[in-house]
Amino acid sequence: MFLTDPPASLYYVFAAVLIVTGLIAVQKQDRRALAAFAAAFLLVAIFFLIDKLNESPREEAERRVHFMAAATTAQSADAFCEHLADKVELHTTGGPPVTKTREELRAGGFWGQLRFMGANVRVWDFSRTDVKEIDENEIEIGFMARGADGSGKMFPLYGRATFRRQQDGKFKLTVFKSFDAVTRKDPQVIPNFP
């Protein structure tokens, strides 16, 4: 996991090493200093390729939340539901959790309401501190989200989404919880969802 999802601070360390070895190579202008710079550059390049070519569970979950938000804005139930597990537990009503199947969510009446309202959904702030790795097959992420209707009225919330690896090897949404955007603890009702 570390190689496929390193913290940004590691890239800062790599940049410092490259700058130092590069300055030494320029100052000394000998093969040994140039070899040290070339080795550091090669290691950073390999590390970068490993990071970018392999998607970590956190990165996959974040990507799927972005796609789900885009699908909601486009009012595309099919595009939204391709990121859901067969059953999803929803904590969006202010009461006990509701479990819905992918097909129930695809056929839900809220899609018509989204079309009528001209809803626009955005997600951001996928902080690493809001990530909880439950095990190698399950991860929970936190993020900020806001919905806006056609008139510009906004509905912000803080979301917690749990993704579980499915039989096809892909992580899909299994649990979604909505909270007040300020406290991030008080449950937030999403009107008419599910």
Q: How far apart are CA 75 and CA 119, in angstroms?
A: 8
Contacts by 39-48 with C-beta closer than 8 Å and gap 24+? Answer: 44/14, 44/17, 44/18, 47/3, 47/6, 47/14
How do the domains of the chain map onto residue ranges? Answer: 8-53, 57-179
Q: Kindly give the residue spans of alpha helices, DSSP state H, lying in the chain.
A: 8-28, 31-53, 57-73, 77-81, 102-106, 110-117
Cis amide linkage into residue 156, ω under 30° from 0: no
Q: How far apart are CA 140 and CA 103, in angstroms?
A: 23
For residues 148 and 156, the answer to whether their CB atoms sit within 8 Å is no
DSSP 23: H
pLDDT by residue for the chain (194 residues), tens digit each? Answer: 566 677 888 889 999 999 999 999 999 999 999 999 999 999 999 988 988 888 889 999 999 999 999 999 999 999 999 999 999 999 988 789 999 999 999 998 888 888 888 888 999 999 888 999 999 999 999 999 998 887 888 989 999 999 999 999 999 999 999 999 999 999 988 877 77
Q: Does domain 57-179 have CATH number 3.10.450.50?
A: yes
Q: How far apart are CA 69 and CA 189, in angstroms?
A: 17
The identity of residue 1, as a single letter, is: M
pTM passes above 0.85: no
